[in-house]
């Protein structure tokens, strides 16, 4: 009996060892494309009932070219481009476009690189899982609606909410606040040369660290709550100030309103920036420690 039991056990061990192993790994899905994010130089979103939104890359940064000519919010454009790295659990042939609503698409996304233009076409939504049918080349994929949502964002929401471009923020050499009401008497100018701050107000006792922090948080990292297009009224003289750059350029801002929100207009770019009252106060009032 012992020999029989031993033989049974040995046979069972051999069977378990030799049997094919089940594939427990989850399917990786279908990659929509093998495109590379950094290769693109232009983006265009076309709609059936409204004007297209388009962008071009200039010196490594995205700029909106339509319907406005302004600096673009870089992360918003990246979200539009994210479709190139998408994966789908479903993949269908493009033999019946009407079945997926692709004969009358909701939008078309055209991405241009050195090799040409790649087109993504957005169709209807699947009623079961609420994902959207999107055609690229010779296949149709089911993808989350967030891709269409990113591409359909209203153009004004895609405008850069920083009052200064990245390059301008790196080149700040000072501020001329002398035409603002609170600094008009002092004719306040605050300048930084070779990393050292100077202030023309005799009673000011600023510290270098405080001014460095003010520059960093109030200007280099400044983000408006919202933006809108701006055309100054030439019949009105606004309180104003200028940001000085190392190359001698001065960027002019009009102060349209100080409360409840600070509204700053930048005439050269045609953008009006909305800042909360506390953020706005810090932007226009550097820490001078007046004695």
Average pLDDT, the chain: 92
Over residues 31-42, the pLDDT tens digits come to 999 999 999 999
Is 239 within 8 Å of 183 (Cβ atoms)? no
Q: Which domains are assigned to the chain?
A: 32-157 (2.60.40.4250), 166-284 (no CATH)
- Binning pLDDT at 50, 70 and 90, where does residue 111 land? very high
C-alpha distances out from residue 128 to 32, 99, 286, Å: 21, 15, 56
Report the pLDDT value the prediction gives residue 290, as an integer from 0 to 100: 82
Is 126 within 8 Å of 53 (Cβ atoms)? no
> Is the confidence at residue 289, as pLDDT, over 50?
yes
Among the listed residues 103, 45, 102, the one whose alpha carbon sits nearest the alpha carbon of residue 72: 45
Report the pLDDT value the prediction gives residue 94, as an integer from 0 to 100: 93
Report the pLDDT value the prediction gives residue 203, as an integer from 0 to 100: 87
Over residues 254-271, the pLDDT tens digits come to 999 999 999 999 999 999
> Is the confidence at residue 19, as pLDDT, over 70?
no
Q: Which one has a higher pLDDT value, 27 or 86?
A: 86
Over residues 112-145, the pLDDT tens digits come to 999 999 999 999 999 999 999 999 999 999 999 9
Query: Percent of the chain, pLDDT > 90?
Result: 87
> Is the confidence at residue 95, as pLDDT, over 70?
yes
> Is the confidence at residue 284, as pLDDT, over 70?
yes
Q: Can you give the length of the chain in residues?
A: 291
Report the pLDDT value the prediction gives residue 17, as an integer from 0 to 100: 44
Report the pLDDT value the prediction gives residue 232, as an integer from 0 to 100: 92
DSSP secondary structure of 103-118: SS-SEEEEEEETTEEE
* Region of 168 on the Ramachandran plot (φ > 0 left; ψ -120 to 50 alpha; else beta): alpha
State the DSSP H helix or E strand holding residue 118, giving kind and residue range, or none if neither.
strand 116-125
- Binning pLDDT at 50, 70 and 90, where does residue 2 land? low
> Is the confidence at residue 5, as pLDDT, over 80?
no
State the DSSP H helix or E strand holding residue 242, giving kind and residue range, or none if neither.
strand 240-245
Sign, CA torsion 141/142/144/150: positive
**Tokens (6 digits) for 156:** 């004004």
> Is the confidence at residue 197, as pLDDT, over 50?
yes
Over residues 161-189, the pLDDT tens digits come to 999 999 999 999 999 999 999 999 999 99
> Is the confidence at residue 229, as pLDDT, over 50?
yes
Planar angle of CA 9, 14, 18, nearest 5 degrees: 155
Report the pLDDT value the prediction gives residue 77, as an integer from 0 to 100: 98
Residues 6+ apart with CB under 8 A from 199: 188, 189, 190, 191, 206, 286, 288
């Amino acid at each position: 009996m012992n020999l029989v039991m031993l033989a049974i056990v040995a046979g069972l061990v051999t069977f378990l060892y030799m049997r094919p192993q089940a594939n427990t790994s989850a399917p990786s899905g279908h990659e929509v494309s093998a495109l590379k994010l950094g290769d693109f130089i232009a983006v265009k979103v076309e709609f059936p009932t409204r004007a297209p939104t388009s962008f071009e890359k200039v010196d490594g940064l995205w700029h909106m070219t339509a319907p406005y000519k302004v600096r673009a919010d870089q992360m918003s454009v990246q979200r539009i481009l994210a479709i190139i790295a998408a994966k789908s659990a479903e993949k269908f042939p493009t033999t019946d476009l009407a079945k997926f609503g692709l004969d009358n698409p909701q939008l078309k996304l055209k991405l241009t690189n050195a090799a040409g233009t790649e087109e993504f076409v957005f169709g209807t939504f699947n009623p079961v899982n609420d994902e959207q049918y999107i055609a690229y080349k010779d296949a149709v994929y089911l993808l989350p609606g967030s891709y269409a949502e990113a591409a359909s964002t209203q153009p004004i929401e895609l405008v850069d909410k920083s009052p200064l471009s990245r390059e301008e923020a790196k080149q700040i050499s000072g501020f001329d606040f002398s035409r603002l009401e609170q600094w008009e008497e002092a004719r306040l100018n605050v300048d930084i040369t070779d990393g050292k701050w100077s202030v023309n107000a005799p009673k000011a006792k600023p510290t270098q660290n405080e001014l460095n922090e003010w520059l960093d948080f109030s200007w280099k990292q400044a983000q408006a709550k919202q933006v809108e297009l701006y055309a100054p009224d030439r019949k009105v003289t606004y309180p104003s100030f200028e940001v000085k750059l190392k190359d001698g350029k001065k960027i002019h801002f009009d102060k349209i309103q100080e409360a409840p929100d600070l509204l700053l207009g930048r005439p050269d770019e045609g953008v009006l920036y909305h800042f909360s009252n506390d953020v706005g106060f810090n932007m226009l009032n550097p820490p001078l420690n007046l004695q």
